[in-house]
Amino acid sequence: RGPRPLAGKRVLVSAGPTYEDIDPVRFVGNRSSGRMGFAVARAAAEQGAEVTLIAGPVALDTPSGVMRVDVRSAEQMRSAVLQHATVNEIFISAAAVGDYRPQSVAPHKLKKTGQGLALALTENPDILAEVAALPEHPFLVGFAAETESVEEYARAKLLRKNLDMIAANCVGNGCGFEAEDNQLNVIWREGSECLPRASKLVLAHQLLARVLERYQASGRP
């Protein structure tokens, strides 16, 4: 057993995609496999934290010692996160929350009409921004998946969502969604650091070390 710098800390992690149902057999989803978030949950538990993992629909085993809550849609993820947010010192939001959901869910399988199909979508709530707006909220770490101007867009998200840190992954090149490896640019208000390409578990441990450093620098207990 290695050093346990997160002993005594409660860490909430979200992972995976959300599925937004169209009808009983179809949904709108995205390519997140949950690997990055599950690696963060595993690494936090290995570092001694008490970890709650809010997992979207993924095919992954629960890391040892982690309390897992399974959800499907963004709205379900929102209630699970809000239910746990205030009792945790740190929230790391690695989930790829669907930005939109169908305006209504058809009760029966939609039939082909030969006319095409227009799907009306409604915007989902921004879970991280809602947690940031709570009067007492955990230390907040977001993720950002960008395909261009990675640091610029991620820094804008950090400020807009009022986060303490954001981990930007440039998706593509065998990194990011679905892949075994990733590459992170960790950004906070006063600085940033690139964590070069490595397995998601190695990066998760490196990310948590930076999170703890910034957490302590923020003067939180």
Q: Which residues are annotated as a binding site?
A: 99, 109, 125-128, 143, 157, 161
Smallest gap from Cβ 103 to ligand PMT, in A, equals 16
Q: Nearest 5°: CA angle at 45, between 15 and 77? A: 25
Smallest gap from Cβ 191 to ligand PMT, in A, equals 19
Based on the shown chain and the rule CB under 6 A, indicate whether residue 183 belongs to the binding site for ligand PMT. no
Return the active site residues. Answer: 30
Task: Kindly list the distances between the CA atom of residue 84 and the CA atoms of 65, 69, 89, 90, 109, in Å, as whole numbers in the listed order.
Answer: 17, 10, 10, 11, 35
The annotated binding site for CTP is made up of 99, 109, 125-128, 143, 157, 161
Based on the shown chain and the rule CB under 6 A, indicate whether residue 63 belongs to the binding site for ligand PMT. no
Based on the shown chain and the rule CB under 6 A, indicate whether residue 99 belongs to the binding site for ligand PMT. yes
Smallest gap from Cβ 64 to ligand PMT, in A, equals 19
Q: Nearest CA to 131 among 172, 179, 97?
A: 97
Task: Kindly list the distances between the CA atom of residue 109 and the CA atoms of 29, 106, 114, in Å, as whole numbers in the listed order.
Answer: 17, 7, 15
Residue of 19, 50, 142, 212 interacting with ligand PMT (CB under 6 A): 142
Residue of 22, 96, 186, 204 interacting with ligand PMT (CB under 6 A): 96
Residue of 126, 162, 181, 202 interacting with ligand PMT (CB under 6 A): 126
Residue of 71, 127, 158, 203 interacting with ligand PMT (CB under 6 A): 127
Strands 50-55 and 10-15: parallel
- Phi, psi (degrees; rounded to nearest 5) at 169: -115, 135
Q: Report yes or no: 102 and 120 within 8 Å, Cβ to Cβ.
A: yes
Smallest gap from Cβ 110 to ligand PMT, in A, equals 25
Smallest gap from Cβ 186 to ligand PMT, in A, equals 12
Judged by CB under 6 A, the stretch of 64-72, 101-109, 114-122, 139-147 that binds ligand PMT is 139-147
Based on the shown chain and the rule CB under 6 A, indicate whether residue 34 belongs to the binding site for ligand PMT. yes
Q: DSSP label at 96?
A: B
User: What is the number of other CB atoms lying within 10 angstroms of the CB of residue 50?
Assistant: 19
Strands 181-188 and 165-170: antiparallel
Structure tokens at 169: 């992954």
The site for ligand PMT (CB under 6 A) is made up of: 16, 32-36, 74, 93-97, 99, 124, 126-128, 142-145, 157, 169, 171, 176-178
